[in-house]
Amino acid sequence: MVAVKLNTSSFLGIEGSIVSVEVDIERGLPSFNIVGLADTSVKESKERVRASIINSGFEFPIKKIVVNLAPADMKKAGSLFDLPIALGILICTGQMNFNDWEKFLILGELSLSGTLNKVRGVLPITLEGIRNHIKNFIVPFENAEECSSIKGANCYAFENLKQIAYFIKYRDLMPYKHKRKTSKFLSPSLDFSDVFGQEGCKRALEVACAGNHNILMAGPPGSGKTMMAKRVPTILPDLSYEKSLEVTKIYSVTGNLNVNEGLIIRPPFRNPHHTSTTISLIGGGNNLMPGEISLAHNGILFLDEVLEFKKNVLEVLRQPLEEKKIVINRASGRVSFPCNFMTIMATNPCPCGNFASEKPCTCTDYERRRYISKLSSPIMDRIDLFTFVNSLDFKSIQDYKKSESSKLIRKRVENARKIQKKRFKNQGIYFNSEMNSVLIKKYCELGGNSLKLLEKVYSKYNLTTRAYSKILKVSRTIADLDLSESIKESHLIEALHYRKFISDNFI
């Protein structure tokens, strides 16, 4: 009997890698073995394959069946090998005539009845197939959008094994046409125009989004910090195709794409709770999964009540905040996940919550310092803007007239980002917040008066070099929002204003 070798793929981290499924059936004592570093989840595949073949009206051979997953040195997990194994058996036993199988990449989980279930990782797998010049894909119907969203992929999507057998025999199906882009993270019911007043904070968030700067909002309870942060995604532009692929890959391998969701085109917004563990935040675990910081890649990580997070959990953020990627080493392997996100942090300014607000603060200086010191200086150092959110007084609520919509703010953010994209075209970065000292020198020149002002502030507050760079970067973003080539004094003054809170209160 012939041996057959079908293409499938596995993934490690967020990268796919081609696996071939060799099936060999011989006379001998009936047995069914899967070899090639398959873990228990793959071994379970045997029962599903056997039942689904029988329940789809085919015969399961009572012979010696050996399935080899190659390359043998790569660890393989998951249920997506069910389908290629089943097809391999059907081809080997002459129940299916599939001559051009080398042109296809095949994956899917089978149920006992022979229906195909959605699997994880289809997006990186499809990309890997295309990279290896395989254009045709046989996938579960529920993964059709994901697979077909890749340019050049012919996706054939099915609900069960019988349909596949029919397709292979008659070739009567056109590739699935990609229909949907997903707008996950864009809630049509949220808009900045819902927020009364708080113009200063809204503006700070606009600046942060324009230059991808990390921002900390401090303010008394009920002042609208959480409310505003949740509206930030509404002022961010759509993702480019490349960024959208990066994000969707992460959601694909973590199983966070819903049934038939295609490419994610809106920047992610993640809001991990302050009880989150280190692993859920940075990723890892036995199966080397990405954590919240990678799910926030190309989008926003919102750490609400940031001082309630455990100190060690916040500390592990230092390295990824700097490097924009996280490398995880475990006995089960080594993977790297991207995590280039913008951070929004929100906190009360002191234990009683009222410091620097209209209401009296009952905390001592010491208590306040101790409270805020949980945000260690390396984390503080990575925050570009600080903004204070005050409670609204009765009059401002009464006098409130509808303010700007998210759409208008987003337009300005988009324009400022376009300017940066053009500016940094050959520099390998996208945003002002990513400028190194050479680029800061080149793009953040100040006029005479501005220089004098900055010098004065620098010595008065004993600023660090890092703070100095941040002020210049933020000034650059404010100038970009103003569509101004040069950084004017007014831009610098606004940037200084976003450091005032920590300069006055905490340094």
Ligand X SMILES: Nc1ncnc2c1ncn2[C@@H]1O[C@H](COP(=O)(O)OP(=O)(O)OP(=O)(O)O)[C@@H](O)[C@H]1O
Nearer to Mg ion by C-beta: 226 or 256?
226
Which residue of the chain is nearest ligand X when measured via CB?
224
DSSP string, 192-245: GGGS-S-HHHHHHHHHHHHHT--EEEE--TTSSHHHHHHHGGGGSPPPPHHHHH
CB of 227 to Mg ion, least distance (A): 8
User: 160 contacts which partner out of ligand X, Mg ion, Zn ion, none, CB within 5 to 8 A by kind?
Assistant: none
CB of 302 to ligand X, least distance (A): 11
CB of 224 to Mg ion, least distance (A): 8
Contact 486, 447 (CB under 8 A): yes
In terms of DSSP H, where are the helices of 97-139? 122-131
User: 222 contacts which partner out of ligand X, Zn ion, Mg ion, none, CB within 5 to 8 A by kind?
Assistant: ligand X
**What separation in angstroms does the CA of 41 have from each of 55, 77, 141, 278, 454?**
22, 6, 22, 26, 61
Nearer to ligand X by C-beta: 115 or 357?
357
Residue range at the interface with ligand X (CB under 6 A); choices 68-76, 96-104, 124-132, 216-224: 216-224
Nearer to Zn ion by C-beta: 74 or 361?
361
| Amino acid (1-letter code) at residue 82 | D
Beta strands in 260-332 (DSSP E): 263-264, 269-270, 283-284, 289-290, 300-303, 325-330
For ligand X, the binding residue among 196, 424, 458, 461 (CB under 6 A) is 196
**Window 357-376: contact mask with Zn ion (x via CB under 5 A):** ----x-x-------------
| Amino acid (1-letter code) at residue 51 | A
Nearer to Zn ion by C-beta: 300 or 350?
350
Distance (Å, rounded) from C-alpha 249 to C-alpha 397?
44
- 221 binds ligand X, rule: CB under 6 A: yes
For ligand X, the binding residue among 224, 262, 268, 338 (CB under 6 A) is 224
Contact 147, 248 (CB under 8 A): no
Nearest residue to 337 (alpha-carbon basis) of 407, 386, 285, 401: 285
CB of 355 to Zn ion, least distance (A): 4
CB of 394 to ligand X, least distance (A): 13
Neighbours of 31 (CB within 10 A): 11
Distance (Å, rounded) from C-alpha 307 to C-alpha 312?
12
- 432 binds ligand X, rule: CB under 6 A: no
Nearer to Mg ion by C-beta: 193 or 226?
226
Binding residues for Mg ion, rule: CB under 5 A, are 226
Peptide bond into 268 cis (omega under 30): no
Nearer to Zn ion by C-beta: 367 or 414?
367
Residues near 287 by beta carbon (within 8 Å), at least 6 away in sequence? 77, 332
**Window 363-392: contact mask with ligand X (x via CB under 6 A):** -----------------------------x
For ligand X, the binding residue among 223, 248, 252, 340 (CB under 6 A) is 223
Nearer to Zn ion by C-beta: 45 or 354?
354
For ligand X, the binding residue among 122, 195, 245, 467 (CB under 6 A) is 195
List binders of Zn ion among 417-456 (CB under 5 A): none
**Window 305-344: contact mask with ligand X (x via CB under 6 A):** ----------------------------------------
For ligand X, the binding residue among 36, 121, 219, 320 (CB under 6 A) is 219
Nearer to Zn ion by C-beta: 94 or 360?
360
Residue range at the interface with ligand X (CB under 6 A); choices 67-75, 221-229, 255-263, 437-445: 221-229
- 406 binds ligand X, rule: CB under 6 A: no
Q: For 140, phi and psi rounded to 5 degrees?
A: -65, 145
Q: How many CA atoms lie within 13 A of 423 on its CB side?
A: 24
Nearest residue to 4 (alpha-carbon basis) of 46, 66, 72, 75: 66
For ligand X, the binding residue among 8, 79, 149, 348 (CB under 6 A) is 348
For ligand X, the binding residue among 222, 255, 285, 447 (CB under 6 A) is 222
Contact 433, 381 (CB under 8 A): no
Distance (Å, rounded) from C-alpha 400 to C-alpha 452?
39
Q: For 16, phi and psi rounded to 5 degrees?
A: -85, 160
List binders of Zn ion among 327-356 (CB under 5 A): 350, 352, 355
List binders of ligand X among 16-75 (CB under 6 A): none
User: 352 contacts which partner out of Zn ion, ligand X, Mg ion, none, CB within 5 to 8 A by kind?
Assistant: Zn ion
> CB-based burial of residue 194 (10 Å sphere; 0-12 exposed, 13-18 middle, 19+ buried)?
middle
At 17, which helix (H) or strand (E)? Answer: strand 15-26
CB of 306 to Mg ion, least distance (A): 11
Beta strands in 323-478 (DSSP E): 325-330, 333-338, 342-347, 385-388
Count, residues near ligand X per rule CB under 6 A: 14
List binders of ligand X among 145-174 (CB under 6 A): none
Angle in degrees, CA 415, 418, 421, rounded to 5: 155
For ligand X, the binding residue among 175, 197, 351, 378 (CB under 6 A) is 197
Distance (Å, rounded) from C-alpha 48 to C-alpha 43?
10
Chain residues that interact with ligand X, rule: CB under 6 A: 195-198, 219, 221-227, 348, 392
Chain residues that interact with Zn ion, rule: CB under 5 A: 350, 352, 355, 361, 363
